[in-house]
């Protein structure tokens, strides 16, 4: 059965046409299926509910986040605000282009069969991978900006500015678009609507050429492997600097005042550290599974068959990666008091207007 799962990637038209049929299949064959196969089919059933709910939540929460941050009333610097708005905008595009226009049509393939006649898949893939790269590298850029602000005080005033943030965001956006043009030549314009990394039909040259496999492998090294390691290292260095600086400052304050006192500088560092680490941890945790599968998948195409990962690992990776684009609003609400107040006002505003209109 595990072998059959891998065949489903390319020709998934006979099994699981609907939620009820896939549920019936799992119940009828649960006794003979392996544990990995049962997990795989259970995940496919969960996706019928999980992806639509995530789309219903992801679009409004990211839109609200963009609106609130753009008003610049959250007590954040313009530099930080620019990065957070860019991250929210990229996450919104990932939810639309990846979740709504890719994963939901794959799960509800019977309702999206018209896509087979629309020759836009390779263009879709460029946009999808470009916005995903933007989402990831904006997180890296924000992490590096906070690293500079906390650890390199002399460079802080020159680098951590609104102008620099705008230049970095624009550069990342342009490079993300340019670096993904190769998908246009590697993939065809025909949709497959299958559970696989390639949701488009692949050209014969790409299937047989080690050149294209190598190019694709480099793409997955640059995203998410390199960002994953950069965020991890930058956070380690930032933690080390904050711990050392905070201890020195507390000793100095204790020596001068004779007693431990609450220091505003230490409090500001603590708040910045919490925001940075929660965003970074959110990325690392939710992207780890997909990164692991991506590395294995590309190594297997290069001839390394020493390690086998079941297909459900990729499905979990996709589900967590999409979830990472819907969680930052909650992170800001938990860690930023002024953002939480603005969010409450935004939610209450329609009701207040309605009550005022009725009166």
CATH number at residue 92: 1.20.1070.10
**Which pLDDT belongs to residue 110?**
86
**Which pLDDT belongs to residue 1?**
35
Query: Within a domain: residue 358?
Result: no
Annotate 188-254 with three-state secondary structure. Answer: EEEECCCCCCCCEEECHHHHHCHHHHHHHHHHHHHHHHHHHHHHHHHHHHHHHHHHHHHHHHHHHHH
Contact between 139 and 84 (Cβ < 8 Å): no
Of the candidates 303, 345, 329, which has an alpha carbon nearest to the alpha carbon of residue 85?
329
User: What are the DSSP E strand ranges found in the chain?
Assistant: 187-191, 200-202
Q: Count Cβ atoms below 10 Å from residue 328 Cβ, excluding itself.
A: 22
Contact between 229 and 218 (Cβ < 8 Å): no
Can you list the residues of the chain whose pLDDT is less than 70? Answer: 1-17, 195-197, 249-269, 298-308
Query: Within a domain: residue 331?
Result: yes
Please give the model's pTM, rounded to 2 decimal places. 0.86
Start-to-end C-alpha separation, the chain: 65
Query: Within a domain: residue 359?
Result: no
**Which pLDDT belongs to residue 157?**
85
**Which pair of tokens denotes residue 259?**
């007693």
Number of domain units in the chain: 1
Pairing of strands 187-191, 200-202: antiparallel
**Which pLDDT belongs to residue 169?**
97
**Which pLDDT belongs to residue 266?**
65
**Which pLDDT belongs to residue 329?**
78
**Which pLDDT belongs to residue 217?**
78
Containing domain of residue 136, as a range?
Answer: 2-351
């Amino acid at each position: 059965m595990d072998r059959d799962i891998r065949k489903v990637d390319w020709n998934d038209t006979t099994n699981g046409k609907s939620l009820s049929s896939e549920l019936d299949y799992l119940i009828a064959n649960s006794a003979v299926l392996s544990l990995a196969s049962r997990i795989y089919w259970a995940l496919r059933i969960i996706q019928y509910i999980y992806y639509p709910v995530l789309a219903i939540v992801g679009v409004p929460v990211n839109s609200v986040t963009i609106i609130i941050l753009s008003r610049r009333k959250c007590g954040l610097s313009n530099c930080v605000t620019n990065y957070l708005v860019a991250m929210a905008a990229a996450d919104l595009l990932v939810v639309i282009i990846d979740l709504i226009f890719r994963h939901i049509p794959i799960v509800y393939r019977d309702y999206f069969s018209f896509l087979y006649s629309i020759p836009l898949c390779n263009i879709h893939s460029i946009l999808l991978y470009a916005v995903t790269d933007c989402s990831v590298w904006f997180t890296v850029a924000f992490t590096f900006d906070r690293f500079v602000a906390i650890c390199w005080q002399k460079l802080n005033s020159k680098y951590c500015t609104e102008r620099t943030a705008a230049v970095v965001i624009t550069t990342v956006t342009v490079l993300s678009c340019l670096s993904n043009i190769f998908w246009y030549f590697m993939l065809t314009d025909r949709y497959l609507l299958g559970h696989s990394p390639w949701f488009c039909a692949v050209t014969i040259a790409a299937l047989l050429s080690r050149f294209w496999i190598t190019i694709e492998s480099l793409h997955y090294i640059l995203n998410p492997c390199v960002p994953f390691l950069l965020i991890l290292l930058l956070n380690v260095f930032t933690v080390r600097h904050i711990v050392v600086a905070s201890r020195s400052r507390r000793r100095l304050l204790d020596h001068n005042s004779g007693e431990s006192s609450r220091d505003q500088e230490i409090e500001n560092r603590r708040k910045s550290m919490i925001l940075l680490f929660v965003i970074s941890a959110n990325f690392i945790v939710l992207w780890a599974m997909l990164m692991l599968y991506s590395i294995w998948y590309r190594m297997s195409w290069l001839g390394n068959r020493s390690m086998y990962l079941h297909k459900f690992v990729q499905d979990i990776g996709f589900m967590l990666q999409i979830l990472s684009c819907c969680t930052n609003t909650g992170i800001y609400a938990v860690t930023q008091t002024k953002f939480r107040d603005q969010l409450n006002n935004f939610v209450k505003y329609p009701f207040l207007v309605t009550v005022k209109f009725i009166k």
